[in-house]
Every structure is written in structure tokens, then in C-alpha cells.
Amino acid sequence: MAAMEVIRPGMLTLIQDIGRYGAGAQGLSQGGAVDLHACCWANYLLANDPNSAMLEITLGQAEFLILQDCRIAMTGADMQPSLDGKLVPMWQSLLVKKGQRLVFGFARTGLRAYLAVQGGLESPLILDSASAVPRNHLGGFHQGMGLEKGDRLSAKPIPTGCLQHQGELAAGRQTSGRFVPDYSKPIELRVIESYQQASFSAEEKQRFYASRYTVSQETDRMGCRLSGEPIHATVDGIVSEGIALGAIQIPPNGQPIVLLNDRQTLGGYPKLGCVARVDLPRLAQARPGTAVTFKRAKLPEAVEQWQQFSRFFGLSL
């Protein structure tokens, strides 16, 4: 049975899980929730499997009609969600009733909010993922494109023997304030340098780490384009190769691009390195004009933080 109906889809609302891994050799993007931190918390608050599908709402202005009593959780950008006109909290589990209207306003801070339903959303799996990737016309509804008015979303049924237990686990869960990001703050990203850092002179690398960049209007799920002091490699290009999540690509104009979930699978621009995985969720919420700086990562620290995150949420990425 459907759990909710789309009344207004907003600017872009996509079905996402943690992504489509192992398909890069077929030319398919990874996809998945750009803000993995918010995504994982939404599922955790409902005692869902960490890879359960949910909605990723960009910038807001979305509205849903609740079609059955259920428990939901909302995380990510502050879109001032309301039920029947009354503001409701984010970052905690919440019971909603049949007939209520859930409305998301325009994001006050951040860029993307996540709406999860207990049990996870029903959506066809393609290569083991429900993630919608518009550039691949794959996954979710409408061949990877955004939801449309009238779409009905169903929650996966929870086995009878688990229903009470999962409900008890989720009841009253909320995220501690220290894990709720302040999306209005400037961003400092840690960089794990790659072998291609040798393609940049010491002066160019010093300029990169000393510069303050701003997020461009052209940022999207493929990559976060930055504007600021240009840097240049000693080579014009490289043989095209696979591109990792978070790779910092330097095109000919010298303006860095941090590649995100819907990135192309191959690229021939030189790369300074990758943004530490645990720092990427903050970049996923960066609106145009947000200030961004970089510093070299301490690799053991970045690895340990990622391992702690993965263990807590039960990820095996």
C-alpha cells in the first residue's frame, strides 16, 4: 500500500540509497545520496537497513499527502518541514497520520534534505541499487529523473515478527546535537593527495591550499565547481582514467572541481587528490557562494574517522 503521494515535487526530488557500486566499468555513475551523513542518520533514526531507499529533496518546495499511518525521519538541509501547517522537528523519528500533509519550505541552510520512511521506500533495484541518476536515465522513477506530481510511494512491508521491535527501536530516537551540522559555516576540506600531485609545482600547490574558493552556481550532483584563484598543472592533460568519489579535478581554466556521486566514470584532467570521504557530506550541502578552503589530510586520522562512521551505521562500502 502506498505510504505517500507527491503533491508538489519541488525543484528536484530523487529516490536514493547509498549508491550503485561496481558498475563503473559499464559506464554507469555511482549515484546515491550525496550527503551520506544525513542519509545514514535518516535510516538509523527509523532502525532501517542502512541501504534503505529514501527521498533526496534539493532546495525544498515539496509537498506530500500521507496515505497511511507511518513513522518518518527528516535530516539534512533545514527546510522547515510542517505537518498540516505546524512545524515539525528534523533529525528525529516522527509518527505521521493518514490524511496529513507534509510540506517542505525553501532550504534556509544547506541544499539537500532527506525524507525516510520506516521500512524504506519500494523502488526497483537496478544493479543492486534504487538510486536515481538523471545523467544515466537509470533508477528511481521516470528513468532516473525527478519525481512528478501524482507519484505514489510505497514503504517496504516490515515482517510481522519485526514490526513491534523495529517500532520500539525507532520510537524517540533523535540525533545528538553534536552530530547535526551547521550548514551556514565556511567549509574546510581535507585532501588526500594522489600521485598526480607531482603534476603541480610547489608554488601552485601552495596557492591552492592558501586560497579561499566559493561554490559556483554550476554545482550539481556530478560535481561541485569552485571559483577562485586558478591553479595550473605542468601537463595539459592525462590519459583518461577512472575517477574516484571526491577527486579534485583541475581543468584548463584552473578552477577546481570536486567530483561527486553522479560524476562521469572516466576523465583526463589532472587531479591533485581526493577530498577525505568523511568531509564530502559537508560539501554536498554547500550552496552557491559558500566559502571553501582546503588543507592536507592526516591520512591515518581520515581513515580512522571513516572506519568509525562505517562501523556505527553498519556500512560495508
Do 138 and 254 share a domain, yes or no? no
How many Å apart are CA 167 and CA 31, to the nearest integer?
A: 30
Domain of residue 269, residue span: 187-313
Helix (H, G, I), strand (E, B) or coil at 128: coil
Tens of pLDDT, residues 139-153: 999 999 999 999 999
Query: What percent of the chain has pLDDT above 70?
Result: 96
How many Å apart are CA 72 and CA 167, to the nearest integer?
A: 11
- Structure confidence at residue 237 as a pLDDT band (50, 70, 90): confident
Prediction pTM value: 0.94
Residue 161 predicted with pLDDT over 70:
no
Tens of pLDDT, residues 268-296: 899 999 999 999 999 999 999 999 999 99
111-to-61, 146, 209, 219 alpha-carbon distances in Å: 12, 16, 25, 11
Helix (H, G, I), strand (E, B) or coil at 169: helix
- Structure confidence at residue 26 as a pLDDT band (50, 70, 90): confident
* pLDDT score for 163: 58
Residue 86 CB partners (closer than 8 Å, separation 6+): none
Do 19 and 145 share a domain, yes or no? yes
Look up residue 207 and give its three cell numbers: 596557492
Residue 303 predicted with pLDDT over 80:
yes
- Structure confidence at residue 83 as a pLDDT band (50, 70, 90): very high
User: Which helix H or strand E contains 103, and what residues bound it?
Assistant: strand 101-103
> How many domains does one find in the chain?
2
Do 170 and 302 share a domain, yes or no? no
Which of 179, 211, 230 delimits the end of a domain? Answer: 179
Q: Which residue has the cell 577546481?
A: 256
How many Å apart are CA 42 and CA 72, to the nearest integer?
A: 8
CATH of the domain at 205: 2.40.100.10
* pLDDT score for 162: 62
Do 174 and 191 share a domain, yes or no? no
Do 173 and 192 share a domain, yes or no? no
Do 17 and 160 share a domain, yes or no? yes
Do 136 and 198 share a domain, yes or no? no
* pLDDT score for 168: 66
* pLDDT score for 108: 95
Residue 207 predicted with pLDDT over 90:
yes
Mean pLDDT of the chain: 93
Lowest mean pLDDT among 30-34, 80-84, 169-173, 299-303: 169-173
Do 141 and 197 share a domain, yes or no? no
Do 152 and 194 share a domain, yes or no? no
* pLDDT score for 159: 67
Do 134 and 220 share a domain, yes or no? no
Do 223 and 158 share a domain, yes or no? no
Do 131 and 40 share a domain, yes or no? yes
